[in-house]
């Protein structure tokens, strides 16, 4: 059982830190764009909500309950990044238009967590076919171990990426004198542009 856990843990880790997981990394970047290192607890809760949605999809895929066309899933994933970036940019504009009022996203965390979980479901679908193909035949009784190892590997990779992003936020804001608004625009705008390219590229392949 230990070797099975380590195998799937390594696979989960490799999936999230691999260049092939670019859209997953872009989503994490967009997810963190509104926050700084001081907000690490809130970011950790968001990443956990994302992981829960991601894990639920893999459970359903592992039990062969959920199957969706891969083309649609691959198109929906960059759409989640675009929507997150748009939300970030619109929130930044609303907050800057009234400096005396607290940013609205801070008072609507339930909304943010809910959609982060839903977007986690969608991103999990991108891994589901790969995960299903990795399941060892005749070892369905070890599904919990396999899911636990794979998701913990992904979670560790996500935490590493978030640490890097929040570290860069600290560097730009504290050392390079970027405003939080400029940092948000840099990160969200960059994520939106790359995700838009991926979205329309995948859309064209479906037409």
- The model's pLDDT over 94-141, given as tens digits with 9 standing for 90+, comes to 555 444 444 444 445 677 888 999 999 998 888 776 676 666 555 556
Q: Residue range 183-202: average pLDDT?
A: 96
Instruction: Output the CA–CA distances (angstroms, integers) from residue 52 to 97, 147, 152, 205, 206, in the order listed.
Output: 35, 12, 11, 31, 30
CB-based burial label for 2 (10 Å; 0-12, 13-18, 19+): exposed
- For the segment 40-52, what is each residue's pLDDT rounded down to a tens digit? 998 988 988 998 8
Cβ contact 42:162 at 8 Å: no
Mean pLDDT of the chain: 84
**List of residues 6+ apart from 180 with CB closer than 8 A:** 36, 173
Max intra-chain CA distance, the chain: 61
């Amino acid at each position: 059982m230990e070797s099975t856990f380590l195998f799937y843990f390594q696979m989960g880790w490799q999936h999230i830190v691999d260049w092939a997981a670019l859209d997953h990394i872009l989503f994490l970047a967009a997810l963190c764009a509104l926050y700084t290192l001081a907000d690490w607890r809130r970011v950790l809760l968001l990443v956990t909500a994302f992981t829960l949605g991601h894990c639920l999809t893999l459970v359903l895929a592992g039990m062969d309950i959920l199957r969706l066309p891969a083309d649609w899933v691959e198109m929906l994933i960059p759409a989640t990044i675009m929507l997150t970036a748009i939300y970030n940019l619109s929130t930044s504009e609303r907050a800057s238009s009234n400096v005396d009022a607290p940013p609205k996203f801070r008072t609507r965390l339930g909304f943010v967590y809910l959609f982060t979980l839903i977007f986690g479901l969608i991103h999990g679908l991108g891994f589901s076919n790969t995960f299903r193909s990795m399941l060892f035949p005749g070892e369905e009784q070890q599904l919990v171990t396999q899911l636990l190892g794979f998701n913990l590997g992904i979670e560790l990779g996500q935490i590493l990426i978030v640490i890097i992003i929040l570290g860069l936020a600290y560097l730009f804001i504290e050392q390079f004198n970027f405003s939080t608004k400029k940092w948000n625009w840099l990160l969200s705008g960059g994520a939106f542009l790359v995700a838009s390219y991926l979205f329309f590229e995948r859309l064209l392949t479906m037409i």
